[in-house]
Amino acid sequence: MSKPAELRELNEEQLMFTLKQAQKELFELQFQSATEKLDTPSRKQLLRREIARIKTIQRERSQPAEVQA
């Protein structure tokens, strides 16, 4: 799990890659959860939080562009 400061240092492409990777892992964990083969249920919550952090950072970056327009 990445800290917000670490995520803010990434450029837009790296941030998108990290987001897609986290979403893919979350999907796989949800699939494991449905089949009752999930080893660490807390990992799902951590991934949801990381996805939310990434989306928040993306929104923060797009916000100044919207204010100027």
pLDDT value at position 30?
92
CATH number, position 36: 1.10.287.310
Query: pTM for the complete prediction?
Result: 0.83
Total count of domains within the chain: 1
Q: Are 57 and 4 in contact (CB under 8 A)?
A: yes
Residues 6 or more apart whose CB falls under 8 angstroms from that of 7 comprise: 15, 18, 53, 54, 57
pLDDT in tens, the chain (69 residues): 578 889 999 999 999 999 999 999 999 999 898 988 888 889 999 999 999 999 999 999 888 766 665
Containing structural domain, residue 63? 4-68
Q: Residue by residue, what is the 3-state secondary structure of the chain? A: CCCHHHHHHCCHHHHHHHHHHHHHHHHHHHHHHHCCCCCCCHHHHHHHHHHHHHHHHHHHHHHHHHHHC
